[in-house]
Amino acid sequence: MFIVFSILGGYDDFLLGWHSVHQSDYEGPNTFANFFGAFMITVFNTLYMLGLLIYVLSKEKVEDDYIKLLRLESYQLTTIISIIISLVLYILSRNLEVTLDYFIILYIGLYLIIFSLKKRREI
């Protein structure tokens, strides 16, 4: 679910970003938003984040107190890092306009990275 909808939801941004670097006159007529519609791209992005959330909330094969402690530590560290990143972005540019999904994806992705690193290092 995560992989399929991340490709469907992020294809337009990738394509438009790539063409803006390589061709300055690209208008984007063959994008997914033109084919599916802008509302469906929002649905794809929502399903992408839902897939990440399902993965984060899924249980390990062996779910003991140690894994719960690693999850708690990962959540705490992720929250602190996310707040610091948000404050730095706010300080550097008060006119920065980003949508909430960027912060949600950053938070969940950062949590998965920290949890994976802690689990690999500790076990």
- The owner of tokens 């994976």 is 116
Q: Quote the percentage of the chain above a pLDDT of 70.
A: 67
Residues 39 and 75 in one domain: no
Residues 85 and 35 in one domain: no
Q: DSSP readout, 12-55?
A: HHHHHHHHHHH-TT---TT-HHHHH-HHHHHHHHHHHHHHHHHH
Residues 88 and 108 in one domain: yes
Residues 1 and 52 in one domain: yes
Residues 54 and 65 in one domain: no
Residues 35 and 72 in one domain: no
Residues 64 and 18 in one domain: no
> What is the dihedral sign for C-alpha 71, 56, 12, 83?
negative
Query: Which two three-digit tokens encode residue 83?
Result: 């707040």
Residues 112 and 70 in one domain: yes
Residues 14 and 32 in one domain: yes
Q: Which of 60, 58, 47, 36 is nearest to 105 (CA)?
A: 47
Residues 35 and 54 in one domain: yes
Q: Note the pLDDT tens digit of each residue in 45-91.
A: 778 788 888 888 888 787 788 888 999 999 999 999 999 988 888 88
Residues 122 and 83 in one domain: yes
The CA–CA distances, whole Å, from 17 to 14, 24, 99 equal 5, 10, 17
Domain assignment of residue 91, given as a range: 60-123
Q: Note the pLDDT tens digit of each residue in 2-47.
A: 666 666 666 666 555 544 444 545 455 556 666 666 677 677 777 8
Rounded Cα distance between 34 and 78, Å, is 36
